[in-house]
Amino acid sequence: MNSSRIWTAALIVITAVWGWSFVAKQQALHGISASALNACIFIVGALVLLPFAVKKLPGLSAKDWLAGILAGVVLFIAFAFQTSGLGHTTPSNAGFITGLSVVLTPLFLFLISAEKPLAKQALGAVVALLGLGFLSLNGDSIRAGDLLILGCAVFFALHIVVLAKTRFGSTSLVLAFIQLLTVGVLSLIWSVTAGEFSLPGTPSAITTTLIIAVLGTALAYLVQTRAQAVLPAQKVALLLVCEPIFAACFGYLLAGDRFTLLNMVGALMIVLGMLISELRLPRRRRSNVMTVAD
């Protein structure tokens, strides 16, 4: 098996783990707060990356530390919204709405640095946002959790913009370590200040937390970074669009998620909007933005 197939398979596995993590986090929230769960996941994830980053940390400048911490603060807000929202919506909805970060990124690039989005990016955003309306309808109302997850998508998009506009003087792995550590520490402060910190109390909760921290956070970052260096950008984008689809599959099988016809149309529109926005024609090139994904 050649390296392209290996990294394609690895990225599919990681994307599946991200999709499963929506269900796993929601179930874990029955015994632990959102802030404590994020603290445990990201501190463990940072500790996993520490041996690979520790030699380069002393050589970082103050600007490098500030860049990494800034990106980590934005990522902390994104995951605070996401994990909190999972307690008030379905894993399937959370997966699809989180994917809106793909179509929101060009909008924030335009607002922050006047980078005009491509016509297809604008079209993809319109299609996906219309899909959000259909997906989130629950009778005559919209789930409060869906609004929280939308906040998560907004800050994931801002996180991509921050990484695209920030200069960092070391490797992407070191940047990832600083971000994970920042999210973990801020989540711990949030949890302790709110008086809701606790450790996972059951074997299943501990196992879930470790899988998300090691496979879905630390290892996922390493795999995504390497895959983006080996695979064509168009292929990586297509594989990452599978995350909400995996979330829907695991939500259906493990959490009893069910869609109305209108909700299903909305979910399909979000995926279609992501595809329209992300996929390039074969002759065109794009630069990759390395991010830490859920």
Residue-wise pLDDT for 10-64, tens only, equals 999 999 999 999 999 999 999 999 999 999 999 999 999 999 999 999 999 999 9
Q: Is residue 208 part of a domain?
A: yes
Q: Is residue 118 part of a domain?
A: yes
SS3 142: strand
Q: Is residue 294 part of a domain?
A: no
**Average of per-residue pLDDT across 165-180:** 90
Point out the least confidently predicted range of 86-95, 190-199, 264-273, 276-285.
Answer: 276-285
Q: Is residue 169 part of a domain?
A: yes
The two three-digit tokens of residue 270, written as one number:
């979000």
pLDDT on residue 102: 84
Q: How many residues belong to the chain? A: 294
Could you tell me the pLDDT band of residue 183, with boundaries at 50, 70 and 90?
very high
Q: Is residue 286 part of a domain?
A: no
pLDDT on residue 28: 93
Q: Is residue 152 part of a domain?
A: yes
The share of the chain scoring above pLDDT 90, in percent, equals 59
Is residue 190 predicted with pLDDT exceeding 80? yes
pLDDT on residue 166: 84
Is residue 248 predicted with pLDDT exceeding 70? yes
More confident position, 290 or 196 = 196
Q: Which residues pair with 142 in a beta bridge?
A: 137
Residue-wise pLDDT for 51-66, tens only, equals 999 999 999 999 999 9
pLDDT on residue 240: 81
Number of domains in the chain: 1
DSSP one-letter code for 2: -
Q: Is residue 285 part of a domain?
A: no
Could you tell me the pLDDT band of residue 236, with boundaries at 50, 70 and 90?
confident
pLDDT on residue 280: 63
**Average of per-residue pLDDT across 264-274:** 91
Give the C-alpha separation, 91 to 229, whole Å. 30
Residue 56 Rama label (left phi>0; alpha psi -120 to 50; beta): alpha
More confident position, 158 or 114 = 158
Q: Is residue 283 part of a domain?
A: no
234 to each of 115, 122, 177, 237, 276, how far by Cα in Å? 21, 18, 27, 5, 11
pLDDT on residue 282: 46
Could you tell me the pLDDT band of residue 167, with boundaries at 50, 70 and 90?
confident
pLDDT on residue 209: 94
Could you tell me the pLDDT band of residue 140, with boundaries at 50, 70 and 90?
low
Q: Which domain holds residue 205?
A: 3-278
